[in-house]
Copies of this chain bind each other. A is one copy, B any other.
Amino acid sequence: MAITVNQIAEKCGVSRTTVLRALNDRGSVGKETRERILAVAKEYNYRPNLLARSLNHGRTMSLGVVTINIENMYFVQSLNIINKEADKRGYFTNIVVCDESLDWEKKLIQGLADRQMEGILISPINKGKEFEEFLLSLHIPIVCIGNQVSDAITTVQVNEMTAAMESVDLIVSKGYERVVFICPPLAVKEKENIYVHEQRLLGFRASVAKYPELESAVIGKTDYLPDVKCVIKEGREKRTAFLCSGDSYALNVMRWGQQNGMSIPKDYGLMGFDNINILEFISPKLTTVSTNLEGVAATAVSELLAQIDSEEYSPKAIYLNYKILDRETL
């Protein structure tokens, strides 16, 4: 459908080299010839075929991004930033969505590689040796966001472990006597990459150990609300706070409480992780940890580009600052 250099050349009765020179303004072209060429190009709305160009000089100037779980909005907020940072350096960003299946994720990554993306950003749900080897076998620069795969692959993240520790400190400082950690089922950990949640759990465990008086528990299941209910009923005399590894857990706990006539933080404390952007609509304002998605995204892009540009690149683990947002639910 679109017109090609060859067709323009034919129409103008010159060689395609001449056409190229006219279009790209390199070398010298007879004034009249140039005008004729430009006129035809304009008339037929000529645009270079980037596939052909890329094939030719081995660069697509495109990055791939694999997003998980777009409905939960973890990572979604970063997309704009990734897009803009990449654009600043002349790269086009191709996003694909994965929707929680391990196989899909691999398939999409492969698809991006097959399309000659120069680098790929992932917040992976796969994990383990096999996945690592898969990624390395692509021979493409890759940067992970949040979830680590191995130290052979650069990861950009915040220090979730110390963030969790500080969160517990905050909770204790507010006089809570019992703290319950809510996170995804740990059983999936064998197959699925829940690195950030694991790190947070580690931080939680390390921190509660510092407070002998503090009662603590962990709820790690898909159907966590019944347990939450239990916890609250069984010990009304102790002031209890829930630390949730992800704001949406916290929002569900909040909603459940509201439906049952409880008030936060009077009846129990609540704290989340991630500071997802829908929190602005929710009241009371959730106390949470900002995982600095903007910073992480921007850093991930520039790290990826550094990897693309340099011959010898050594993988890193990069930690950015998080920020505890002490709002209304503790």
Contacts and interface: CB of A to CB of B under 8 A. Distances in A.
A114 B49 contact: yes
A24 interface: no
B92 A111 contact: yes
A114 B71 contact: no
Q: In the A-B complex, list the 5 residue pairs whose CB atoms are closest, starting with the nearest.
A: A95-B95, A1-B139, A251-B281, A278-B278, A50-B114
A262 interface: no
Interface of A: 1-2, 45, 47-52, 54-55, 60, 62, 70-71, 73, 76-77, 79-80, 83-84, 92-97, 99, 110-111, 113-116, 137, 139-140, 248, 251-252, 254-255, 258-259, 277-278, 281-283
A70 B80 contact: yes
B70 A99 contact: no
A115 B140 CA distance: 20
A16 B272 CA distance: 58
Given A1-B140, A70-B80, A278-B281, 13 more contacts: A47-B114, A48-B114, A50-B114, A51-B55, A71-B277, A80-B97, A80-B99, A83-B96, A92-B96, A94-B95, A248-B281, A252-B281, A259-B283
A177 to B, nearest CB: 28
A60 B44 CA distance: 22
Nearest to A139: B1
9 contacts: A50-B115, A52-B55, A62-B115, A70-B76, A80-B99, A83-B96, A92-B111, A94-B95, A254-B281
Contacts of A50: 114-116
Nearest to A110: B47
Contacts of A84: 99
A248 to B, nearest CB: 8
Contacts of A116: 49-51
B99 A83 contact: yes
Contacts of A114: 47-50
Contacts of A254: 281
A259 to B, nearest CB: 7
